[in-house]
Amino acid sequence: MLAPSPGARPPGVTRLPDVPSIEVPPARRARTSVLDAVGDTPLIAVTGFLDDPTVRLHVKLEAANPGGSAKDRPAVAMIDQAIASGRITRSTVIVESTSCNTGIGLAQACRFYDLRCILVVDERARPQNVAIMRALGAELDVVATPTDPNVDLLAARLARVATLVAEFDDVHWPDQYSNPANPRAHATGTMAEIDAALDGHVDVVFVAVSSTGTLGGCLDHIRGRELPTRVVAVDAYGSVLFGGTRAPRIIPGLGAGRLPALAQGRAVERLVRVSDLDCVVGCRRIARSDALLVGGSAGGVLQAVRGMQAELAGLRCVVIAADSGHRYLDTVFDDGWVERTLGCPPDRLAELVGTVTTARL
């Protein structure tokens, strides 16, 4: 027997008890598909991470995208643009190089459109991320670490992409490293949403750089709207971006081993470099202070903010957190991994994370 509908009067009851009115927040619109659900991610006030309470810090939580990262935005934009232009048809094979998140976004978009998708990854790709891409139907082509020390893993992946592209008659390489749809997705999406949420009152935006699509999109929106917002680029030690020198890097999604086309001609007002250990410390501290699990690159960005507190007093700042800490549980959030890989024992790590004091009750 079906239960009475909400609000229906039970048999024998002549008057329902008084129920206090509840203010119901406006519902988000129903999404037409998983791809339509990309974007409109939360902007969250962070109140415990910094020592200076006058710095008004917000985190743009890109892990709320259905594929779990900021890379969902350009992935969908690149595929949709190519479909609209006729470059992609039902028979087209999609081939791309990825370290993780772009691949997941592309696998999701290709699964939705029933397109064959081949993703070239290297041996550093985390098993969990490889499993996600495969679960979405992508084929994985794994590149071995080059024996030539002058060849980095990105160059090796791109060489393999070129080989695969030559093997198919109907093939499309989105090329996230040069495709203008990449920064455009962040200009019309990520930065536009931050701008709208804070009514244009954003003093500083902190952005991790790799393909530089997010950075470029933020700069394009800010310049197009003539906003006074400053952008701080956060890069890894060992990255060649913005005049850096290539060296080994561990945390994915931050830095680059070769200069992407999207970075050419881009200049930044302020650049801060962070270490792999900085990324770990930032992730651990934000988890403790504000119950947020963010990915490795976001941890590095947060540490950059923490190191600049003295010059950020009284300002409203936004950190774009590219992905979730859920994908780093066996690395960044594992004490054993941190000690083995980065040489930092748990007691030293605890000192670096520091004491977090919150009084929210």
- Is the domain covering 72-172 a CATH 3.40.1390.20 domain? no
Angle made by CA atoms 270, 293, 51, in degrees to the nearest 5: 55
pLDDT grade for 319, boundaries at 50, 70 and 90: very high
State the average pLDDT over residues 244-262.
Answer: 90
β-strands 116-122, 139-143 pairing: parallel
DSSP state of 149: T
Q: Give the per-residue pLDDT at 13.
A: 45
Q: What percent of the chain has pLDDT over 90?
A: 80
CA angle 251, 188, 235 (to 5 degrees): 25
For position 14, what pLDDT does the model report? 47
- Domains of the chain by residue range: 35-61+203-351, 72-172
- For the cut 70, the answer to whether the pLDDT of residue 24 exceeds it is no
35-61+203-351 and 72-172 agree in CATH topology: yes
**Quick check: 9 pLDDT over 50?**
no
For 286-316, how does the pLDDT look when each residue is reduced to its tens digit (9 = 90+)?
A: 999 999 999 999 999 999 999 999 999 999 9
Confidence of residue 3 (pLDDT cuts 50, 70, 90): low
226-250: per-residue pLDDT in tens?
A: 999 999 999 999 999 999 998 989 9
Which residues are within 8 A (CB) of 87 and not within 5 positions of it... i.e. 6 or more apart?
172
- For residue 324, the model assigns a pLDDT of 96
* Per-residue model confidence (pLDDT) at position 102: 96
Asked whether 197 and 59 are in contact (CB, 8 A), the reply is no
Q: What is the pLDDT of residue 145?
A: 78
With residue 56 as reference, give the H or E element that holds it. Answer: strand 56-61
Note the pLDDT tens digit of each residue in 91-110: 999 999 998 899 999 999 99
Q: Which two three-digit tokens encode residue 246?
A: 């290539």
**Residue 73 reports pLDDT greater than 90:** yes
12: pLDDT strictly greater than 70: no
Q: Alpha-carbon distance 44 to 298, whole Å? A: 14
Is the predicted pLDDT of residue 150 greater than 50, yes or no?
yes
In tens, the pLDDT along 164-212 reads 999 999 999 999 999 999 999 999 999 999 999 999 999 999 999 999 9
Q: What is the CATH number of domain 35-61+203-351?
A: 3.40.50.1100
> Do 72 and 83 contact (CB within 8 A), yes or no?
no
Q: Would you state the pLDDT for residue 16?
A: 46
pLDDT per residue as tens digits for the range 110-149: 999 999 999 999 988 889 999 999 999 999 999 987 767 6
Q: Phi and psi at residue 23, in whole multiples of 5°? A: -80, 115
Q: Look up the pTM and report it.
A: 0.90
| pLDDT confidence of residue 22 | 61
Res. 161 pLDDT band, cuts 50 70 90: very high
pLDDT at 35: 97
| Average pLDDT over all residues of the chain | 92
**Mean local confidence (pLDDT), 258-282:** 94
Asked if pLDDT for residue 51 goes beyond 60, the answer is: yes
